[in-house]
Amino acid sequence: MTEGRFRELLARGLDGIARWESTFRPFEPHESLEVDPHIARQAIDDLVARLADNYPFFHPDYAGQMLRPPHPVALAAYAIAARINPNNHALDGGPATAMMERECVDQLAAMVEFRSPYLGHLTTSGTIANLEALWVASRIHPGKSIAISSEAHYTHPRMCELLGVKTVVVPVDARGKMDVDRLASLGAGDAVGTVVVTAGTTAAGAVDPVADVLELARERGWRVHVDAAYGGFFQVLAHEPLASLDAVSWEAISRADSIVIDPHKHGLQPYGCGAVLFADPAVGAFYKHESPYTYFTSRELHLGEISLECSRPGAAAAALWATLRCFPLTAQGLGRSLFASRMAAVTAYEMARATGALTPVVKPDLDIVTLAPVPEGERRRVSEISRKSEELFARCQSARRPLFLATWRLPKAFGALALPKLTWDEEHCTVLRSVMMKPEHADNVYDIINGLAS
């Protein structure tokens, strides 16, 4: 979508809000809010100058971290709704956007095939969404541990520490996935109550064997929480043969107890917009609280009564709602851009292997590619690989046409399985990591791999 088209949408929406505002009694803004026009313009000019001190997150030459630009429809919708600034804590604070949030959550639940009734809401981040899921887990199994893989997001042990819950770290296999045999070996002394499986680890994008973990968990009486903050939207491609996803794991997600998805990752949304879903709506009882003042709009359970957060931007719900109108959660809707990203990663993997100079650490499950600058199967010291990775990383950023990648400090416990030919003279091996979140990477991947191999 062109910049002109974005400006047209924004102006259309703001004009519509202005017409709505004009139906109320006219008033003059208070003089304390007046700003000298010169100062205001200078503030904006200075802001633009300061913002230039950023990486080009919007550009296909940026393939480093998990940063995907929000769609212009989402940006316009957010700005339009923010003109009113609704608060989705309660219906009084944002009746329209609260309904939009419920509609969005219904669509997310349908995507992961959660059956009604369920409970869910948007959050300000995936971190907060995971915190809520772990908090509920700790209330259902008080005093019991939460098992996570060694490649789970670092916020899980942090959130468990905050909640006063013990974590049990389960090693991963050579693919970066939770080792189910090691999970099964946990004994009564570990006192597990919940297992966190990840659908898209943030380092390598690996999808844990959800079905196998669920089967074991049901035998042991464990809850299963799926952290799909990164990979959740790939659910729309689960049954597309060309996407080559692990359909068994994606189908199993519907049987989990709770799920977290981040629309501000692959859902084309600005920060921050996360979501948490619970299969059993009865967990809403844990959120019960009293307020010293009353909400008068509705006697129904409002969003603030099923969330640990209070103030939440209704504009985030409006942005997601408008985006899903344009990109429904189907293979032919949002799935088209996800498919392009997936194909970029698959192409990168195959090209890297063909170069004779790069070795993929793992075969990508989603759209993250991890590469060691060493011929496949060749014996090298880890210290040498780390040094070459750092040199390549610096060279790419300083080139005439910069290429922005990321590095990953691969831990020995995982790396020795994934790259068994290396001599591990250090505890970590620095490798290159590329997150191909933008559909434009499907065309740019050739430049990326050829540039690294040259």
pLDDT tens digits for 47-61? 999 999 999 999 999
Find out whether 225 and 183 touch, Cβ atoms under 8 Å.
Answer: no
Same domain, 270 and 147: yes
Q: Is residue 403 part of a domain?
A: yes
Same domain, 303 and 411: no
What is the per-residue pLDDT for 394?
A: 94
Same domain, 320 and 340: no
| Tokens encoding 390 | 């750092």
Q: Is residue 40 part of a domain?
A: no
Same domain, 321 and 376: no
What is the per-residue pLDDT for 89?
A: 83
Domain that holds residue 243: 95-326
Per-residue pLDDT for 14 more than 90? yes
Q: Is residue 225 part of a domain?
A: yes
Among residues 280, 306, 326, the one where a domain terminates is: 326
What is the per-residue pLDDT for 288?
A: 72
Q: CB under 8 Å to 326, separation ≥6 — which residues? A: 71, 73
pLDDT tens digits for 394-434? 999 988 899 999 999 999 999 999 999 999 999 999 999 99
Same domain, 216 and 257: yes
Q: Lowest-confidence range among 119-123, 287-291, 329-333?
A: 287-291
What is the per-residue pLDDT for 351?
A: 95
Same domain, 283 and 368: no
Closest CA to 320 of 275, 260, 258: 275
| Tokens encoding 176 | 């970066």
State the total domains in the chain: 2
Q: Is residue 38 part of a domain?
A: no
Per-residue pLDDT for 2 more than 80? no
Q: What is the Cα–Cα distance from 63 to 161, expressed in whole angstroms?
A: 33
Among residues 326, 354, 370, the one where a domain terminates is: 326
| Tokens encoding 241 | 């043969």
Q: What is the Cα–Cα distance from 174 to 188, expressed in whole angstroms?
A: 27
pLDDT tens digits for 210-266? 999 999 999 999 999 999 999 999 999 999 999 999 999 999 999 999 999 999 999
Same domain, 343 and 299: no
Same domain, 418 and 443: yes
Same domain, 311 and 350: no
Same domain, 299 and 445: no
Same domain, 242 and 137: yes
Residue 191 half-sphere exposure toward CB, CA atoms < 13 A? 10
Q: Is residue 10 part of a domain?
A: no
Summary mean pLDDT of the chain = 93
Per-residue pLDDT for 293 more than 80? no
Find out whether 433 and 368 touch, Cβ atoms under 8 Å.
Answer: yes
pLDDT tens digits for 101-159? 999 999 999 999 999 999 999 999 999 999 999 999 999 999 999 999 999 999 999 99
Q: Looking at residue 418, which CATH number applies to its domain?
A: 3.90.1150.170
| CA angle (74 as vertex; 12, 40 as ends), nearest 5 | 65
Q: Looking at residue 198, which CATH number applies to its domain?
A: 3.40.640.10
Q: Is residue 418 part of a domain?
A: yes
Helix (H) or strand (E) holding 122: strand 119-123
Q: Indicate the pTM of the whole model.
A: 0.94
